[in-house]
Amino acid sequence: MDSETQGFYEAEARRYREIHSRPLLRYSSELEQEFISPFLPSTGRTLDVGCGEGRTTRHLANVVKGLVVGADFSPAMVQQARYAADSASLFYCVADAGKLPFRENSFHVVTAMTTLNNVPDLRQAIAEAARVLVPGGVLIATVINSAEAARFVRGIYFGPYYLYRWLRGNRSGMIRRIYSREQLLEAVPPRLEVLSCEGMRVVPDFLPEYPFNFWPALHPAAAWTYGLLRPLDVKLSRHPITGRFARFHLLIARKR
């Protein structure tokens, strides 16, 4: 477990819902829901590892009938998720992705949405997810791609903002590790069969995230633009060439 990263999320937890209500994050959530829905059963037990304030956990509870558990190593995040819980089948707990407090073969679906970018040991976290899955159960994970094409564009827009934060001594403290598709697939143990590992989100990353996605007056225009670009984004995300440079890898793997 990474205490610096944990401290960062503890401090960010109260702002997290507001951040996730911004147009780009809302767009990402909707895209994610579209991409993962074919892999969600109608019934079963589900676990969302690194659930944050619970956006995916709530979606799972809406779609899959049965127990839904959200786990996060930040107590403040878990508290935020509990405030926002809107279903009686939702439970939250504080837990480390590297050592989940569940028995083997407990869940039919395990999700980990950008959580694996924070864990110190990628293999261990994927192995833990595999351990708690029932045979035939599915792991769904999004992982920030080290090859994302728009990183340099974002650097240009975010440069002044990061400089401002740095000058104020307000450094993030969060450790994020990014992975190529090959590095991610190498960390998947043989007990998981990879069903797919495609890209997700290409086009919006070429738009100026700052201030487009930050300044509330621009939010309606941002949401409209993201919505307009979505069909193209889905195509490019799924394309074998452009998908390799998407913002996220979407890994779907089934326990043998």
- Binding residues vs ligand SAM (CB under 6 A): 1, 5, 9, 50-52, 55-56, 72-74, 77, 96-98, 113-115, 118-119
Q: Least Å distance between CB 70 and ligand SAM?
A: 9
Whole-number Å distance between alpha carbons of 50 and 32: 16
**What DSSP letter does each residue of 190-228 carry, written as one string?**
TTEEEEEEEEE--GGGGS-HHHHTT-GGGHHHHHHHHHH
Beta strands, E only, 21-169: 46-49, 68-72, 90-94, 107-113, 133-144
Q: Least Å distance between CB 79 and ligand SAM?
A: 12
The residue (of 74 and 237) whose beta carbon lies closer to ligand SAM is 74
For helices 55-63 and 23-36, what crossing angle results, to 10°? 40
Q: Which of 153, 148, 163 is nearest to 207 (CA)?
A: 153
**What DSSP letter does each residue of 147-176 carry, written as one string?**
T-TTHHHHHHHHHHHHHHHHHTT-------
The residue (of 135 and 173) whose beta carbon lies closer to ligand SAM is 173
Q: Least Å distance between CB 41 and ligand SAM?
A: 20
The residue (of 143 and 150) whose beta carbon lies closer to ligand SAM is 143
Q: Which of 187, 196, 190, 205 is nearest to 245 (CA)?
A: 205
**What SS3 state is found at 68?**
strand
The residue (of 51 and 132) whose beta carbon lies closer to ligand SAM is 51
| Residue 62, number of CB atoms within 10 A of its CB | 14
The residue (of 140 and 188) whose beta carbon lies closer to ligand SAM is 140
Q: Least Å distance between CB 118 and ligand SAM?
A: 4
The residue (of 118 and 237) whose beta carbon lies closer to ligand SAM is 118
Q: Least Å distance between CB 25 and ligand SAM?
A: 8
Q: Least Å distance between CB 101 and ligand SAM?
A: 11
Q: Which residue has the tokens 């403290």?
A: 173
